[in-house]
Structure 1
Amino acid sequence: MASTRLRRIALVALAGAGSFAGTLVLSSDLLLHSSTAAIISDSPKEVMDEAWQIVFRDYLDTTGNYSEEKWKTLRRDLLSKSYGNTKDAYEAIRGMLGTLDDPYTRFMDPREFKEMEIDTSGELSGVGIQLSLDKDSKELVVVSPIDGSPASRAGVQPQDVITAIDGKSTRGMTTEDAVKLIRGKVGTKVVLELRRGAGQFVTVDLIRDRIELAAVDSSVNVAPNGAKVGYIRLKQFNANAAKDMRNAINELSGEGVSGFVLDLRSNPGGLLMASVEIARQWLDEGVIVSSSTRDGVSDVKRASGRALTKAPLVVLVNEGSASASEILSGAIQDNNRGVVVGKKTFGKGLIQSVRGLSDGSGMTVTIAKYLTPSGKDIHKQGITPDVNANLSKAQAQRLKFEDLGTRNDPQYRVAESELAKLLRQSNAKPEVSFEGDVQLNVFSAN
């Protein structure tokens, strides 16, 4: 049977902008009649049926375009046709998944699937752009450039729309099509044409390079009041993120910082369990995130009682903070562990499972939605900060990469100010006094 050769261990992904997460063990619950099995005995149809079955079993419909009967009819139609080569079969699979109108449920040929696996490993080659296909406009949107990448150095910004690649219009182009054109050998050039905001058009020449995905940058900053601030910028939730975060928290704590600013701006997300593990480093108790499948099965991730620090915390977010970033910032906000500062986040609240198929290709499929601890569904809504901190267009253009997390960074200054308030509150200790039979709590700031 086709499904028996399906790779059973899969990555669970938060594909907001860069996919990807823990593990999910699959089981086949669809049995094929022998006549149908004969139809799909050749390899292209076998892979096609594997993809079909994954959707049939696990897909969470968020668009209203899926029905079981239509999906069965589509299967019969596709398997009744002949495919001259693997490429034709792959295009048929993409067309099949395209009927769902879900940009996060997509097919990857073996090369694309291998590249996706590299993306989560902590190293890749290219220009360092995380892409998303806007569901309504069908435009290719930059979720965020990776810090230190050619795209970041050239000034590519979150929400930029890629209108052309090397002179070729991106109209009707999928993210896979775009990645094929943007990626290439290290040292070669690619030209992107971007639309920014209402009508500004920008052309950037990028030299492809190997992108090192260091998950964390950290430093000790000194606030105007003399307090030591531990600044941590988490750039991506890859396989190294939890380890790197643990090291940063411990090192900064050892240097005597009074509180932390955790910067998740333009962090496109990544591995689900990385976000949970990092949340556990900040939270001693409480729910971190819950997820719900189409069958109503709910999985709740909680703090483990082993937080690395209880120091005051401020979290910085912006429009490029997506997926796993929203899980982490939502958990901190809902558990009152810290103050969230910045702009409303991207709004990616769906969980994808990344499945390997028998010929080395693969696919991502939406299997669940996640909720913050308070039960909020943030898909298309995002996380609203506790304190709004704008970054004007002119400020963004003047802000250099090396200015992030410094006094030259307007949003960071707001975060540092909020941290100062938290520190004053934490230093207010109760003193007990008595007047007659009435006990009063009097607070004095040391």
Structure 2
Amino acid sequence: MSASIPASSKGSEPVGVAFILRKAFLSALVALGLFSLMIGVRTEAGQSGQLEYWTRFGDLASLVGAVFVGSIVVELLRMWLGPRGGLGSFVPQSVHSGLSVAGRYLAPALLIFALLVPVIFYNQRYILDLGILVLTYVMLGWGLNVVVGLAGLLDLGYVAFYAVGAYSYGLLSTTFGLSFWVCLPLAGILAAFWGVLLGFPVLRLRGDYLAIVTLAFGEIIRLVLINWQDVTGGPNGVSGIPRPSLFGIPLTPGPDGLAALLGIPFSPTHRIVFLFYLILALALLTNWVTIRLRRLPIGRAWEALREDEVACRALGINTTTTKLTAFATGAMFGGFAGAFFATRQGFISPESFTFQESALVLAIVVLGGMGSQLGVALSALAMIGGFELFRSLEVYRMLVFGLAMVLVMIWRPRGIVGHRAPTVFLEKSKAISSDLVKEGHG
């Protein structure tokens, strides 16, 4: 008995129960092959050095069963919701209108909330540290969004510029005694310089080849930091990095500190609040510069390069300078974030600049929506802040995290806030003269 179910799209054959079960069985079989060694068998080194192992077939069976049931649910949802226009068809028009209006005030509401976080959570050090971490990744996401979202250049080695900015501030401050405000622009300039150096070898590359070269560049920088021990300290890193001051006024309990000058009791939270507002100002600066550049000719050239490089070159746009400016601009913001990371931690080492950081920032950009500033901010808040909510799940935290990303990519393939509309476009279709087209009409 094979009952047929209406097709999920026009012109396709009806989908039967046997088809859904067969697809779910294949998905479960693939899950069994992937997770049999990862979850079914656990190995550890014993006390005498021999390899010890034990099985967890119960957990493996539960996971395979969840994949089987989930595949059936996904197929049913895709089949039932597909012909009606997806999930949006079940949402009333009034709700759509309300969401569109709320979307206009979402960005100002997030900004006001960010400004009030130190006031609301002044006595909660964990919330303040988490807010600083989220804003750091928001700034990194906005910097990478220039390269990936606006220019369409897939960069898997963005952590290299993050590391250049951090080590630039760490070495300049500890060696020459320069302050944070002097080293901050220097870190951005040096990171932009390395961005240009990366841009030259990849001018003729695109797609997967570009991603491989940028990935290799990030690994080269990390290996240089590990092996150039005379300058970078090698695996030991750089310690004793000075904390930032409020334009020369230290945030210390001494008589020359900010608290003494203001006549208020000293609290260690003052420095945390200052760091929070500092990274917030740097992130807003990154956002403002990106929006302004996008409206300039160089920003329009980035968008043209993203849509079609061949057509961009045919229009007379210099793709060489366009790519180099995109790499340099994105790298500069990464250098700023790296300098802030160094002064916040007070210690840096190559372990903080692995490929996992590049992958995380790229995931923030793609998940939020390439080219969308608001989407990147929401994605960073969800991925960094939401990731902390599942810390109690321990070993299953990464599984939940990956599952959430897969579901978002299925239902929102363009990201949370998909936005790839060009800055300049024709509001109305314009007729073309018959002399310019073969058919005789526009």
Q: Into which bin does the TM-score normalised by the smaller protein fall?
A: under 0.3
Higher helix share: 2
Bigger RCO (CA 8 Å, 6+ sep): 2
Question: What is the TM-score with the length of structure 2 in the denominator?
Answer: 0.22
Higher strand share: 1
